[in-house]
Amino acid sequence: MQLHPEISDSIRDFIAAQHMFFVASAPLDPGGHVNLSPKGLAGSFDGPPNILRLYGTGRPVFAGDPDFDELRSAFPVVHNRLRAIIDVRVERVQDSCGYAVPYMAFEGHRDRLTANWADKDGVAAQRYWAKKNPESIDGLPAMPPAREPAGR
């Protein structure tokens, strides 16, 4: 295990090169549940084995929030709808050997998510998310209410 003082350029490059990564979150309540989800639509499993862990505190920034577009501009456009960005203040960067990480072959990206949202506008997406994801399994708010466009 090695601790790093920050996310260096080589660590940033490693993160950007991954096809998939896992995001875990947990509420502050000790009775809450940890949510661990695979994420990603671009990148590579190539290179030396490595397990990278980033620790910190985060805040959700939802589509339509004032700083969403600025944060969104930091990511490549890989699909047409994005409901939220988790803005994390990283406080600890740690990696380890990754010798138990299996070799995996990348066969291609799935296009189902992008195709599913191709004909839906932003308001339709917000309504869908608010209906399908109103709260976490711990009963905490998960998505803001749908925002109606001005003039409606």
Q: Is the pLDDT of residue 119 over 50?
A: yes
| pLDDT number for residue 108 | 80
Q: List the domain boundaries for the chain.
A: 2-132
Which three-class secondary structure state does DSSP give residue 80? coil
Its pTM surpasses 0.75: no
pLDDT tens figures, 50-105 = 888 888 888 889 888 899 989 988 877 766 677 788 898 898 898 888 887 777 77
pLDDT band for position 147 (50/70/90)? Answer: low
With contact defined as beta carbons under 8 Å apart, do 86 and 23 qualify? yes
